[in-house]
RNA sequence: GGCCCUGUAGCCCAAUUGGCAGAGGCACGCGACUUAAAAUCGCGCCAGUGUGGGUUCGAGUCCCACCAGGGCCA
């Protein structure tokens, strides 16, 4: 095991046999928190570095939209990559929306493939400096690798470049450094690159293949080097055509693909001719074939992929690579380690001390937590200059805070702080036992609240998919491994609520105007007499379309506001705020009140009278519907069912107590105030929040008779009512007796009769 | 460019997961109450489910293609 780790003496087997620096290096390979000199996202305007997750697609900071630059800096990292596999696999354990799971899987970016070692053509292949390792998801195309590409920053570039190519390579390297990753990854047809003058050997056939550098290969992804298979990868194809490199097909495309991409002059109907043409001159086709198919041109003395379908070819090649020591099947992830330090004041200080000789120790446990020093000026040092040295606010802290003496040695405090995510990674655990002075959460409290599958229900926005929700899963797993928490996952069930949207209005210059002051004149919208155009978007300040909840509360009460928000529509979808509709739920509450309380006298109308059979059935049906809907978080449906029941009560002089006692608790979560008031008036001394959720009587849901729709050939032709316990034959007989049904069956042969119990009857004739 | 979500009445939304397209609300119309209006109560109105195919006895629901809106990743 130790042998496989970098820099360890062969033969060393025991920890104590290792030199201190070897021990340190080994530990560093495994530490979950480590310092590293890495290319980071530096945002001079914010005066801080940012995690990949905090940088938008167009290279701006997620907060504030400022430009972000790559630059190397020594920073704290958290080794989230050590948990890649479990973070991906354990998504199986949780009840989350599939799109969020998918986003996390994509972000983690698991890909199966193989690593392949390409020896340099002139080297002895003994030293690691003479081997280029690449990762590929398509080891089956190895016979088609006709060149290699290193990222311009790849450490081998300097040593392999020939003198003749040296100037060109250096010029290209500095040109590439000036481009952003986003730029470099953009699918430009025009590829750039420079030949290093060096060659590698393709391990499958010992062919000498040229080594290029090109900026479409990124150092931060995979090994920073690729084997290029131009026949089967579009970017490699574009590159090879541009620089006139051999394009060797090793997978046979589908007929459709050949037809579609063949050059002019081919007989597109003659499959054999197309294939022959492709094998002879794949470079004349207009694209790379990236799909799967049978292998061709892929054979050496020991292994043949010819005729094998892609999955089989992949494993055959991986096996061969492993047998010959040229590589092995492996899994690669897109997720990078998490850049965990920030140059901000408002963040948790690291409990870390730096010794004068550079070694690092943790702050003594008795001195935890490390509190931020009081400072007058705690702003980050913002700058327009991307090369300005980072200045953390804590570097301006009093010397008494910055220096700590331990055993006579003066240590310097770490002056970076943790990112805002640090707190959200574990707050849910602290909330369980917030006053515990001994532990971050007591074991008993943790088991009680988190037991089973973690937090029962976590409601939040989808924007956290690859930030908070990934980071906190990582921390939770670390805590789980250390035995501090009992579940492998923090959030058993996740629910994403949608956004509230509202109409927004722009004037003729395209500037947003205050939506509340816009007048609607039969679909023509004006603001201060000027016409404005209406659009639509997430409610908020930027679109000037926010509706203050205070106004709604003031006018209708907060039960109405609450009810309205729940009634808008499915919780997980974005919904339009339409002030006009509020009166609907407000009327419901007023009607409810009038049903229960005499408006004139204020007398409670709930009596001990028995409910009649129909009302009882309605009640129990409602209990079931509301219960099911609340479980499914379909609050809009639950409220609709209660409105329906309430409408049934309108004609009654008094409300039977058995109805009231069940109905009010059903509504209480949605309209707590009015329900509490009615509950008290009904004679209860305890709050309604302490009462049990009503349960329905299944017997009350069973009807004596059922009305069946009768279809003939799938079209509704009649309806029959039969006793609930009628058997199929009886139902069918009843159906045939219906006049209209009989008419549509007249003179035809019955082919089939489908009786779906409690649903319908379909008679197929022909 | 790839992937994901959504599309049902003038509007917001339901539809027991493949079984009668309508629960509820808004808006609108008519009627009752009222001197009148508001409020209230009653009654009514409107779509064949974005488009085109397919599977099925039967499709809003499943499959394929396309269109539109929103999102994620390049």
Output the domain CATH number for residue A740: 3.10.20.590
Q: Check whether residue A466 has its CB closer than 7 Å to nucleic acid strand B.
A: yes
Q: Check whether residue A760 has its CB closer than 7 Å to nucleic acid strand B.
A: yes
**Looking at the domain assignment, is residue A27 inside a domain?**
no
**Looking at the domain assignment, is residue A384 inside a domain?**
no
Of the candidates A700, A716, A738, which is a domain's last residue? A700
Of the candidates A679, A700, A721, which is a domain's last residue? A700
Q: Which nucleotide is nearest to A568 (CA to C1')?
A: B12
Alpha-carbon distances of A433 from A365, A437, A473, A479, rounded to whole Å: 20, 9, 20, 16
Burial (CB count within 10 angstroms: exposed 0-12, middle 13-18, buried 19+), residue A78: buried
Q: How far apart are CA A488 and CA A94, in angstroms?
A: 10
Same domain, A607 and A725: no
Same domain, A217 and A325: yes
What are the helix (H) ranges across A31-97? Answer: 84-89
Strand partners, A69: A42
Determine the straight-line distance between the first and last CA of chain A, rounded to whole angstroms.
75
Q: Tell me the two tokens of residue A556.
A: 């209708």
Q: Which 8-state DSSP code applies to residue A213?
A: E
Alpha-carbon distances of A463 from A97, A494, A496, rounded to whole Å: 13, 13, 9
Same domain, A326 and A193: yes
Q: How far apart are CA A175 and CA A152, in angstroms?
A: 9
pLDDT of residue A12: 55
Q: Check whether residue A754 has its CB closer than 7 Å to nucleic acid strand B.
A: yes
**Looking at the domain assignment, is residue A749 inside a domain?**
yes
Same domain, A170 and A228: yes
Report the nearest residue to nucleotide B6, CA vs C1': A573
Who contacts A226 (Cβ-Cβ below 8 Å, separation ≥6)? A134, A136, A148, A149, A217, A236
Same domain, A131 and A203: yes
**Looking at the domain assignment, is residue A672 inside a domain?**
yes
* Chain A 70-99 contacts with nucleic strand B (CB below 7 A): 98-99
**Looking at the domain assignment, is residue A754 inside a domain?**
yes
Q: Which nucleotide is nearest to A567 (CA to C1')?
A: B25
Strand partners, A301: none
Same domain, A647 and A667: yes
* Chain A 631-650 contacts with nucleic strand B (CB below 7 A): 632, 634, 636-637, 639-641, 643-644, 647, 650
Strand partners, A352: A362
Q: Check whether residue A192 has its CB closer than 7 Å to nucleic acid strand B.
A: no
Q: How far apart are CA A27 and CA A627, in angstroms?
A: 54
Strand partners, A406: A409
**Looking at the domain assignment, is residue A730 inside a domain?**
yes
Same domain, A127 and A193: yes
pLDDT of residue A185: 61
3-class SS of residue A221: coil
3-class SS of residue A271: helix
Same domain, A711 and A664: no
Same domain, A324 and A186: yes
pLDDT of residue A665: 96
Q: Complex ipTM, two decimals?
A: 0.93
A324 CA to B25 C1' in angstroms comes to: 72
On strand B, nucleotides with any atom < 7 Å from a protein CB are 3-6, 11-17, 19-21, 23-27, 39-42, 57-59, 70-74
pLDDT of residue A101: 86
Query: Which residue bears the tokens 């940088």?
Result: A55
Q: Which nucleotide is nearest to A754 (CA to C1')?
A: B57
Domain enclosing residue A657, as ranges: 580-700
**Looking at the domain assignment, is residue A83 inside a domain?**
no
A142 closest CA partner among A301, A345, A338, A300 = A300
Q: Check whether residue A234 has its CB closer than 7 Å to nucleic acid strand B.
A: no
Of the candidates A516, A542, A570, which is a domain's last residue? A570
A262 CA to B37 C1' in angstroms comes to: 79
Same domain, A180 and A161: yes
pLDDT of residue A613: 87
Low-confidence residues of chain A: pLDDT under 70: 1-13, 53, 56-59, 123-128, 178-190, 220, 508-511, 520-525, 533-538, 540-543
3-class SS of residue A69: strand
Query: Length of chain A, please?
Result: 766
Q: Which nucleotide is nearest to A109 (CA to C1')?
A: B73
What's the CATH number where A635 sits?
1.10.730.10
Q: How many domains are contained in chain A?
A: 5
Same domain, A541 and A675: no
Q: Tell me the two tokens of residue A405.
A: 């003496």
**Looking at the domain assignment, is residue A159 inside a domain?**
yes
Same domain, A195 and A235: yes
Contact between residue A366 and residue A433 where contact means Cβ atoms under 8 Å apart? no
């Amino acid at each position: 095991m130790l042998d496989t780790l970098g820099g360890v003496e062969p033969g060393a087997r025991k920890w104590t046999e290792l030199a201190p620096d070897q021990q340190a290096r080994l530990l560093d390979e495994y530490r979950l928190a480590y310092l590293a000199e890495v290319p980071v996202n530096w945002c001079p305007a914010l005066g801080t570095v940012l995690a990949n997750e905090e940088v938008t697609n167009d290279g701006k900071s997620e907060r504030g939209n400022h430009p972000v630059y790559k630059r190397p800096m020594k920073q704290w990292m958290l080794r989230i990559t050590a948990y890649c596999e479990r973070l991906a696999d354990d998504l199986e354990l949780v009840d989350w929306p599939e799109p969020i799971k998918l986003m996390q899987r994509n972000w983690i970016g698991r890909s199966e493939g193989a690593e392949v070692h390409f020896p340099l053509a002139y080297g002895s292949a003994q030293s690691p400096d003479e081997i280029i390792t690449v990762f590929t998801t398509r080891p089956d195309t190895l016979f088609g690798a006709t060149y290699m590409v290193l990222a311009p920053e790849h450490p081998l570039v300097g040593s392999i470049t020939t003198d003749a190519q040296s100037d060109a390579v250096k010029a290209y390297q500095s040109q590439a450094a000036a481009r952003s990753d986003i730029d470099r990854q953009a699918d430009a047809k025009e590829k750039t690159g420079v030949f290093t003058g060096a060659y590698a050997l393709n391990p499958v056939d010992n062919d000498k293949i040229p080594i290029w550098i090109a900026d479409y290969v990124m150092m931060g992804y995979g090994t920073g080097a690729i084997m290029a298979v131009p026949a089967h990868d579009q970017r490699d194809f574009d590159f090879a055509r541009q620089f006139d490199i051999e394009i060797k097909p090793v997978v046979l495309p589908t007929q459709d693909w050949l037809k579609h991409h063949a050059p002019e002059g081919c007989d597109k109907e003659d499959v054999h001719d197309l294939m022959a043409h492709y094998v002879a001159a794949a470079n004349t086709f207009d694209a790379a074939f990236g799909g799967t198919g049978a292998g061709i041109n892929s054979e050496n003395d020991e292994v043949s992929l010819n005729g094998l379908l892609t999955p089989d070819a992949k494993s055959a090649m991986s096996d061969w690579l492993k047998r010959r020591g040229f590589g092995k099947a492996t899994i690669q992830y897109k997720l990078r380690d998490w850049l965990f330090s920030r140059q901000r004041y408002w963040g948790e200080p690291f409990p870390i001390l730096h010794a004068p000789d550079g070694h690092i120790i943790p702050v003594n446990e008795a001195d935890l937590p490390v509190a931020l020093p009081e400072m007058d000026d705690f702003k980050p040092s913002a700058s327009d200059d991307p090369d300005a040295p980072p200045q953390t606010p804590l570097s301006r802290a009093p010397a008494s805070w910055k220096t700590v003496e331990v055993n006579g040695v003066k240590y310097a405090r770490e002056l970076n702080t943790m990112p805002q995510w640090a707190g959200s990674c574990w707050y849910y655990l602290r909330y369980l036992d917030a006053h515990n002075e001994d532990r971050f959460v007591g074991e008993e409290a943790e088991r009680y609240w988190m037991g089973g599958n973690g937090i029962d229900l976590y409601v939040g926005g989808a924007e956290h998919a690859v930030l908070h929700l990934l980071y906190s899963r990582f921390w939770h797993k670390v805590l789980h491994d250390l035995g501090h928490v009992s579940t492998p996952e923090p959030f058993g069930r996740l629910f994403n609520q949608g956004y509230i949207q509202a109409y927004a209005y722009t004037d003729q210059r395209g500037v947003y105007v205050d939506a509340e002051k816009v007048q609607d004149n039969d679909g023509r919208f004006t603001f201060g007499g000027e016409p404005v155009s209406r659009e639509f978007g997430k409610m908020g300040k930027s679109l000037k379309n926010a509706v203050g909840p205070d106004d709604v509360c003031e006018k209708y009460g907060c039960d109405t506001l609450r009810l309205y928000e729940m009634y808008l529509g499915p919780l997980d979808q974005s919904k339009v705020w339409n002030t006009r509709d509020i009166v609907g739920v407000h009327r419901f509450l007023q009607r409810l009140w009038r049903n229960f309380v005499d408006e004139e006298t204020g007398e409670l109308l709930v009596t001990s009278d028995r409910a009649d059979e129909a009302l009882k059935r309605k009640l129990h049906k409602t209990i079931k519907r509301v219960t099911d809907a609340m479980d499914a978080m379909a609050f809009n449906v639950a409220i609709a069912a209660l409105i329906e029941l309430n409408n049934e009560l309108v004609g009654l002089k008094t409300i039977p107590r058995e109805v009231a006692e069940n109905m009010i608790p059903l509504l209480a979560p949605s309209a707590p105030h009015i329900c509490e008031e009615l509950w008290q008036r009904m004679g209860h001394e305890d709050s309604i929040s302490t009462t049990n959720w009503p349960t329905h009587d299944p017997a009350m849901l069973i009807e004596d008779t059922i009305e069946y729709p009768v279809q003939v050939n799938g079209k509704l032709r009649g309806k029959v009512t039969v006793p609930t316990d009628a058997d199929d034959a009886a139902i069918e007989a009843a159906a045939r007796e219906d006049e209209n049904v009989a008419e549509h069956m007249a003179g035809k042969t019955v082919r089939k009769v489908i009786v779906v119990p409690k649903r319908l009857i379909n008679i197929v004739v022909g």
